[in-house]
Structure 1
Amino acid sequence: MLAFAAPFAKPAADAQPEEAIMQWDIGEIAFRARDARSWWEFPARVVFTHRESNAEIAQLAYWRDGSEYRVRYALPSPGLWTWRSESGDPQMDGLSGAIAVAPAGEARKKANPNLRGHLRPSASGRFFEYADGQPFFLLADTIWSANTLRCGLGQNGDGPFFQYLRDRKEKKFTAILHVFLSGFGDDPEPIGQANEGGYPFPDGDLKRLNASYFRYLDARMQAIWEAGFVSASPPTWFGKVKYFIDYETAKRISAYLMVRYGAYNLLWSLSGEYQYAMRDGKWTDADLAELGEHVQAHNPWRHPVSIHPSGGLNWKPPHNRQSPGEAFQACEWLNCNWLQTGQDDARMRFVAIRPRENYERTPPKPVFLSEANYEGPPEAKSLNPSIEANAYEARWQAWTAFLNGACGYGYGAHGLWGFYDPEFEEPGKKAPGRYAATWREAIAYEGGGQLRHVRDCLSPRAWTALLPRREWLEVDGEENPWPSEDDIAPPHCAAAPGNLYVFYIPRGNAERSIRLAELAPGSYRALWFDPRTGESFACPAPSAKAPAWEIPPRPDPAGEDWALVLEKANAETAG
C-alpha cells in the first residue's frame, strides 16, 4: 500500500494539511486535466518546499489513465512540506497543499532500508550509500521477467512474484535486476510480453500506452520497495533479437518511466546490452549520450545512471570492453559503471579483470558487475563443461568481483531470470532455455543460496575502505597471476592497510604457498571463513611486527575454496 494516495488535488483556497507520512515513504497527488495530450507529455509539475529549510524538489506529473495525471513523491526531510502545482492546463494549475513528514526511526529503517533514502555514489566514488550515509551492500538477483503474467501477482500477495521476493529477501539479496518492459529487443515476441493488464503498447502502437499494464507494474514496484529492495533496471532491451522500439520512442518511454517511478529507490540503466541498439537501430555514441542526458533531465531525485553492456568482445572499440566506461567515463550523465563479463567459462577471467580496470578509471565511479556467468542446474556441467556456472563458480564470481574493485554483484540463474514455467500458457510463455530448468528449480540453486555469506562476511566490516590489492600476493614464491581462460585458481586480496585484509582462495590451491608480501605492522586476529556455509573460526595471525605473512594452510577440505579475514585485534564488527 502507498503510504499516502491523495484524492484529486484541490484549489489552493481549499487545501488542508494532510496527515503525516514517513520520511522517504511513497505518496501520490492526483490531478484531472482538461485537455487531452500524448502519453509522453508532462503537462504539469509540482514544486515541494520544505518549510524549515526552504529546500525545493520539482516533480513532473505523469499520465495515468484517461484525463488523470499523478505526481509520485518521496520527501527526504522531516517537517512540514508545502506543494503547489504549475501547468498550462487550467484544471491542474495553481493547486496546493501541505504534507507533514515524520522521521523514520531506526527500527523502521532496519525493517525497510529504503527509508534511509535514495542511493547515491559515495564522496569517494567507490560505492553506493543511502541518503542518510549508510553504505549500501549491492548484492542483486536477476529476474528480467518480473513484469510478466507468468511471474504473476496472484491473490492477496500469494503469486509467484511475491514468492520470489520472499525467497530473495531470506537469502539476503539487496537489489532486484529487472526490466520495466519485458520481451522487446531480447525476445522474439512481436509486441513484448504481457502482464495482468495486457501489453504495454496496445496492438503494438507506440503512440499509445495501456494504462492497465502500468498499474500492474506499479504494484510490482511498490512490492519491491516495501520488501526493502533497490530496483536495478533498464527500461528494456532496445535491440538484439529484434528492433521494435525506435530511438525517439526510447527517449519518450525512458523519461516516462523515470518520472513515474523515480520516487522509488533506483539504479538506472539506459538499456540492456546497449551495443545491440547500435547494431540494429544504428544508434551512435552521440545518441546514447543524448539519451543519458535526457534521462538525467527527468531525474530530480538524482538516481545513479549507467548503461548495461554486452559481454561480447567483438564489438567495435571502444564498445568491446564489457563496460560503458571506455566510451562514456567522462560524461556527467554516467554516475556508475555497470559491467557484463559474459556467459561462459572462457570469459570468467574478466570477473577479476574488468572490475579492477574500471576501478582505476578517472574520475572514480562505483563499479557494479551486473551480469556474469549465470548458474545452471547441477547437471549442466556434465552436459557442457564450458558454459553455465555451477555453485562453486557462482560464489567464485561474487567473491572475486568484490575483492577486485566492484562495490556490487548481480547473480543470475538460468530458469529464473526468464521465469520459465512449462505449465504457463501464452501469451508470454518463456522458452525453456538450454536445460529446461523451471523457476521453481532455479530459485533453489545452491550457489544462489550461498552468496549471502559474502554479505555476512564483508558488510559488518569496513568493506568500503578495501582497496583491490591482489598484486600483494605471491604464489609459490612467484608473482600472483591474473585468472586466465584456462585457470581461475589464482587468489585474490583486498586491503585497508593496517586495519583489514580479506582474501579469497579458490579451488586448486591446497598445496600452494600463498604469501602476503605487504603487511602493515600491528596486532591482528585471523579468521577462516567458509564461503559454502558461512561458518568462521580462528587461525594463527602474523606477529605484531611482521612486514609480510605466510598464509596458513587451508582448512579441511583443503581442496575447496576459502575466504580469510585478517583484521585489527580490537576491530569491532557491526550487526
Structure 2
Amino acid sequence: MPVDTEALSRLAVTVGPSGRTLERNGEPFVLHMDTAWELFHRLTLPEAEEYLDTRKAQGFNAVLAVALTELDARGVNECFGPDGALLSSTEGGGSIFHPNRYGMRPLLNDDPALPNAAYFSHVDAVINAAAQRDIIVFLVPTWGRWVNEAWSGPPVLFNAEKARSYGAYIGKRYPHLPKVLGGDSNPIWTDVTAFRERTAEAKARSGAANFDGLPITDSTAVVDSMAEGILSAEPEAFLTYHPTALALPGSPVPTASAFFGDRKWLALDACQSGHTDVEEPAFNPPLHFWDARASHVPLAQMWAAGKRPIIDLEGHYEDMRIGINPSERPLWNEHDVRAGAWQAVCAGACGIVYGHNNVWQMHSPEREKLDGRFKSACYPVPDLSWQDALKAPGTRGTRVIAEYLASLPREVHDTKAPAQDRLVSAAAPAEVVQRDGRVDVIAAGSQWLIAHSGHGYPFELDLSGFRGQARWLDPRSGEWSDAIAVEGGKQSFTPPSSGNVENDWVLEVKRA
C-alpha cells in the first residue's frame, strides 16, 4: 500500500514566520523527536507498531529513521547471498545488504539507481503506521557511509548521477516528509581506514595523531545532487543535513550551515553535539570535536549563521557509554539527557531530539544469540532489549520540556531568542559553568523568560522591563513552585536544590 499522502500532508512541517521556529497547519510546532535509525530495516511491521504506540504514549511527535541503513551491511570484501549467508564478494549473487525481516534488500544489485520496490513497500507501511499515530518520520534517505564512507569504510555507492536519481525516487515516493541528508557524515571527509589507523597508533602511545597528508574527499556535489533530485520531484521539500561531531583539519566546523549555509534547499540548520565529553589526545589537537556537555556552542554558531530554525539532531544518547567507549566509563543517564535538552532549547533550538543507545539500533539480545549476522553497535547495555529500553526514564524529562514549550502562546514562539545578556552572574564552579552546570537563558522581549540552571546553583538576572512573577519548574516531574514576585532590575534566585546535573531547575519569569 503506498503512503497516505493526505495524512502526510496534514503532518507536514514548515518554517514559521520568525524564521526560527517550525509550524504545522499554521500553528507553532515543537519538535519532540525520537531516534530510530534502524526502524525500517530491523523490525517487522507489528514490532514497528509496538515501538510507535509506546512513543506516541510518551508524547513524541516525530521519529528519525533511515532508508539505506548503517548496520546489517558488509564491507567491500564481504556480502550476503540470497539466503542471507555470508559470502565473499567474488561469489555470484551477493549483496552488501543483509535482508530486512521480510527477506528484502533496499537496492537491486546494490545500485541506488535501482531501488527495490518490495523493500520500500515495508517502509511505506511503517510511515503510514506512524502517520496514523500523528507521528511524522524525518526520513534519512541514506546513511553517510554509502556516500563517503563516514565511519564505516568502503564501499561508496553514490556518485552525483545516482544521488540525483535516488533523490528523485525518495521525493516522489515520500512527499511531505522532512528529508535528512548526511547521515552522521560531513561532506569534507577522508579515507576512514587511514584515519582509524592513525588514531589507533596515537592512542597506543597516548599522544596526538599525525594527520598530515591524510587523503581528503569532498562529497558536496553528491549531497547537492541528492537534494536536487528530491526537489525535482517535490519542489517544496523540507530538507536538512545531519553532520557528524568531528571536523578534519581545514574543514568548516561540523554544522549543516557551515557546509551548506548558502543553499536554498537547507530549511533546518543542524548539528550533532555528540557523545563525548573529554578531549581525546589522539584527536585534539588537531581535530575539532564538539563537547557533548556544551551543546550551546554549536547551537550558538548556528543561530548566528542565518535566520533558520536550528536543532541538535544527535546529542548524547541515554545508556550510551560516554565517548562511545567499551571501557568502564559511565553511561549517559536521564539527567545528562534532560540537562542537554534544556540547554539546547535555551540556545534557540526548535525542539528536542532524544536517543537511546539500545533503541536506535533496535537491539535484540535474543536475536543476536540466534543469528551471528545481527550485530550490535556502540556498546549497548548487553541484556537490555529495545522493547525494555523504550521505558528508560529519560523520556519523562523530554516530555516535560516538549509539553511546556507547546503550551506557550504564539507571541512567545514568534519572538523568543537566546538572552544570555540577561544573566548577570552564576555561582556554578568554574569547571562546569560553561558546560552542563551553565545557566542558559532565553526570552521573548520583556514578556517571558526562562533560565535553566544546569546544576541548580544560584544566579542573578537582569530583569529590566519585567514586573510580574517568577516560579520554579521541576524538570524531572513538571511540577511548579509557588510564585515569586519580580519587580524589575537585577534579582538573585536560588533553586530548590543544587550540586550536580541531577539538580537542574528551570525558572520561568512572566510580565504581569
TM-score range, shorter chain: 0.7 to 0.9
TM-score, normalised with respect to structure 2: 0.78
Does the 8 Å contact 1:344/1:388 carry over to 2? no
> Is residue 35 of structure 2 the alignment partner of residue 142 of structure 1?
yes
Q: 1:508 to 1:567 in 2, by over 3 A?
A: closer
Partner of 1:343: 275
Partner of 2:496: 555
Task: Quote the offset at 1:126 in angstroms.
Answer: 0.1
Partner of 1:358: 302
> Is residue 164 of structure 2 the alignment partner of residue 251 of structure 1?
yes
Partner of 1:495: 443
Question: What secondary structure, in the 3-state scheme, does the structure 2 residue paired with 1:345 have?
Answer: coil
Partner of 1:289: 224
Q: 1:506 to 1:254 in 2, by over 3 A?
A: same
Q: What amino acid maps onto 1:504 in structure 2?
A: H
What CA distance in whole angstroms lies between the structure 2 residues aligned with 1:306 and 1:446? Answer: 29
> Is residue 510 of structure 2 the alignment partner of residue 567 of structure 1?
yes
> Is residue 419 of structure 2 the alignment partner of residue 532 of structure 1?
no
Question: What secondary structure, in the 3-state scheme, does the structure 2 residue paired with 1:423 have?
Answer: helix
Partner of 2:400: 453
Partner of 1:201: 107
Any residues of structure 2 matched to 1:25-174 within 5 Å, and which? 73-74=5-6, 116-130=10-24, 132-148=25-41, 150-153=42-45, 159-174=46-61
Of 223, 230, 244, the match for 2:129: 223
Q: 1:119 to 1:482 in 2, by over 3 A?
A: farther
Partner of 2:425: 475
Task: Quote the offset at 1:385 in angstroms.
Answer: 7.2
1:165-190: CA deviations, max 9, x gaps? 11111111111011122236987584
Q: 1:315 to 1:407 in 2, by over 3 A?
A: farther
Task: Quote the offset at 1:422 in angstroms.
Answer: 1.7
Q: What amino acid maps onto 2:31 in structure 1?
A: L
Question: What secondary structure, in the 3-state scheme, does the structure 1 residue paired with 2:449 have?
Answer: strand
What CA distance in whole angstroms lies between the structure 1 residues aligned with 2:430 and 2:449? Answer: 16
Partner of 2:234: 299
Q: What amino acid maps onto 1:304 in structure 2?
A: F
What CA distance in whole angstroms lies between the structure 2 residues aligned with 1:170 and 1:315? Answer: 44
Does the 8 Å contact 1:184/1:236 carry over to 2? no
Partner of 1:233: 139
Asked which structure has the greater CA Rg, the reply is: 1
Partner of 2:86: none
1:423-457: CA deviations, max 9, x gaps? 22449623154132421232122112321000122
What CA distance in whole angstroms lies between the structure 1 residues aligned with 2:20 and 2:473? Answer: 25
Question: What secondary structure, in the 3-state scheme, does the structure 2 residue paired with 1:336 have?
Answer: strand
What CA distance in whole angstroms lies between the structure 2 residues aligned with 1:433 and 1:550? Answer: 43
Of 190, 193, 207, the match for 1:279: 190
What CA distance in whole angstroms lies between the structure 2 residues aligned with 1:257 and 1:385? Answer: 42
Q: What amino acid maps onto 1:521 in structure 2?
A: F
Q: What amino acid maps onto 1:555 in structure 2?
A: P
Partner of 1:77: none
Range 231-240 or range 289-298, more displaced: 289-298
What CA distance in whole angstroms lies between the structure 1 residues aligned with 2:258 and 2:174? Answer: 29
Unmatched segments (≥5 aa) in structure 2: 80-95, 192-215, 279-290
Q: 1:400 to 1:533 in 2, by over 3 A?
A: same
Range 177-186 or range 382-391, more displaced: 382-391
Task: Quote the offset at 1:140 in angstroms.
Answer: 0.8
Q: What amino acid maps onto 2:23 in structure 1?
A: E
> Is residue 319 of structure 2 the alignment partner of residue 376 of structure 1?
yes
Q: 1:307 to 1:427 in 2, by over 3 A?
A: farther
Does the 8 Å contact 1:232/1:269 carry over to 2? yes
Identity value in percent: 24
Question: What secondary structure, in the 3-state scheme, does the structure 1 residue paired with 2:66 have?
Answer: coil
1:526-557: CA deviations, max 9, x gaps? 221111111112231212xx223222x21247
Question: What secondary structure, in the 3-state scheme, does the structure 2 residue paired with 1:504 have?
Answer: strand
> Is residue 254 of structure 2 the alignment partner of residue 322 of structure 1?
yes
Q: 1:399 to 1:162 in 2, by over 3 A?
A: same
State the aligned residue count. Answer: 441
Question: What secondary structure, in the 3-state scheme, does the structure 1 residue paired with 2:227 have?
Answer: helix
What CA distance in whole angstroms lies between the structure 1 residues aligned with 2:237 and 2:353? Answer: 18
Partner of 2:97: 192
What CA distance in whole angstroms lies between the structure 1 residues aligned with 2:320 and 2:217? Answer: 37
Does the 8 Å contact 2:11/2:134 carry over to 1? no
> Is residue 211 of structure 2 the alignment partner of residue 211 of structure 1?
no
Partner of 1:444: 391
Q: 1:179 to 1:378 in 2, by over 3 A?
A: closer
TM-score, normalised with respect to structure 1: 0.70
What CA distance in whole angstroms lies between the structure 1 residues aligned with 2:507 and 2:328? Answer: 29
Unmatched segments (≥5 aa) in structure 1: 6-25, 28-72, 75-111, 154-158, 570-575
Does the 8 Å contact 1:345/1:373 carry over to 2? no
Task: Quote the offset at 1:397 in angstroms.
Answer: 1.0
Task: Quote the offset at 1:381 in angstroms.
Answer: 11
Task: Quote the offset at 1:507 in angstroms.
Answer: 1.4
Partner of 1:419: 362
